[in-house]
Amino acid sequence: MTLDIPFDNTYAQLAPEFYSRQAPTPVKSPRLIAFNDALAARLGITRGRDEELADIFGGNVVPTGADPLAQLYAGHQFGSYNPQLGDGRAVLLGEVVGTDGIRRDIQLKGSGPTPYSRNGDGRAWLGPVLREYVVSEAMHALGIPTTRALAAVETGETVWREGGLPGAVLTRVARSHLRVGTFQIFAARGHHEALRTLTDYAIARHYPEAQGPMGLLRAVRDAQVELISAWMGVGFIHGVMNTDNSSIAGETIDYGPCAFMDVYHPNRVFSSIDRTGRYAYANQPQIAVWNLAQLATALIQLEDDPESVLDEATEIVHAMPDLLQEAWLRRFCAKIGIGTVAEGDLELVSDLLQVMAQGQADFTNSFRALLEGHARDQFLEPASFDAWEARWKERIKSETDTQARMARANPVLIPRNHRIEQMIASAVAGDYAPFERLMTALASPFETSEEFADLRRPPAEDEVVQATFCGT
C-alpha cells in the first residue's frame, strides 16, 4: 500500500520572513526502526511499506503535498538572549488535520543542515532519537501534553561528535512548533506586522476564543500552568527550559537533557549544561513564569501605546505563581488520595516531600507504595515517615474514592534514566529488543505487571545516571 499523508499546510502560506524553504538532505541507507501505527491512524495516514516509510521519514523522498521549511525563531538560553536560532537540524514537512479534527505539524529532526544550523551538520545520532521517541510517548501515556513520535529511521551514516556515532532521524508530531522565541525574534527586530500576523495565526490555530494579544498571553499562561504542574507530579525535569523550548501550545517539546527523578530532591539537576541549577526540578514553575514574562514583553509591542496594556500584561504574569501553586497542590493532593483541597493540605504535602528528601526515597515508587501499603520501606529512616503517615491517615478519613484517585495519579512505571541508557547502548550494538520492551511497558504506565516488574526498580549504585546531555 502506498503511503498517503493528507497534508493541509498553513504555516508555509505565511510570509517568507517566518521560515526558509528547505528540503531534507537525503541519507545513505535509511532503515525503519519504529513506526507509530496508532498515531499514524489518528493523523489519517495510511501505512506504506517499510522501505517507503524509511525513504520518507529518513528524508530521501519528499511526499506529495509536503512543503518543507525550517522555522525561524530566537530565544533566551539560560537567561541570555540569542537573537537568531531557528531549526538548525529540523525540517517541517507540513501539517495534517487528524481524524480528531486537530491540526498537527509533522517535522523531521536530524534531517540535515538549514540556514539556521550555525555551522552544525544538522544531523542527530541514534541515542537522542530513541530517547525522545521513548520519553515523549511515555509522557503521552502518562496523560501529559507532549509532542509525539511518529517514526524513527537509521540513516546508515556516521555522525561525528566526540567520536563516530550511528545517525538517525526522528519524525516529531506537534500541535505546532510555535515557541515563545518565535514571537521574541520579531519583537526584537521591530517587525510588528510580522508579529501581528504571528499572533493572529497562533490565536486562530490554538486559542480561537482568545481576544487579542492579551487573550493569547492569558491562554498560554493557563496551558503552561497545567503542563508544568503535570511535570512536577511525575518528577520530570525538562533540563533546558529556554524560551525557544517553550511551546505556546502548552506541550512538552525538545527532549534534550531531560530526566525523571529516582531519589527525590527538590534541587535535582541532570542536564550537563545546567551548571548553576537554573532548571532544577523545583525551579521549573518560576522559570515558566519568567518565560511567560518574555512572551508578554513581545506581545505588548503590538499596541501603539504599550503602556496602555502594561497593567493587564503584568496582572496576567503576576497571577501565574498562585495558579501554579494551586495546580501543583491539586495534583499532589490527588497523589495522596485527597480530592478536595482543604486548609492544612499544603503543609501535609510539603512535609511528605521533606521527609522523602531526607530519607532518600524514590519519587515514583514512594507515592505508588503509599497506595499499595508499603511506603515506609522506601525510607532510610522509616520512623520519620511513620509520624507523617499517622497524620495522613487521619486526613483521608473524610475522603471517598481514595484508592482509585491515587491509582490514577501515581504511575507504576516511568522511563527511568538508567533503563534509557541501557536501551540506547543495546540499540547502538544492533539490539532493539530493550527499546521495543520499554515501548510496550510504558504504554500502560499505571498498570501493575509481573512481566515488567524489573522496570520499577531504581538504579543500582553503578547504574545511576548523574548527567544527561543535549541531543545534538
Distance CA 310, CA 216 (A): 15
Q: How far apart are CA 121 and CA 191, in angstroms?
A: 30
Please give the sequence-ordered ranges of beta strands (E in DSSP) within 367-450, or none if there are none.
none
What spatial distance separates the first Cα and last Cα of the chain, rounded to whole Å? 35
Distance (Å, whole) CA 34 – CA 32: 6
Determine which helix (DSSP H) or strand (DSSP E) holds 103, and give its type and residue range: strand 103-109
- In whole angstroms, what is the distance from residue 236 CA to residue 125 CA? 23
CB atoms within 10 A of CB 212: 14
β-strand partners of 149: 172
DSSP-derived secondary structure letter, 381? S
Which sign does the torsion angle of CA 294, 299, 302, 303 carry? negative
Q: Amino acid identity of 190?
A: G
Kindly compute the dihedral angle of the four CA atoms of residues 288, 292, 297, 302, in this order, to the nearest 10 degrees: 160
Q: Please list the active-site residues.
A: 244
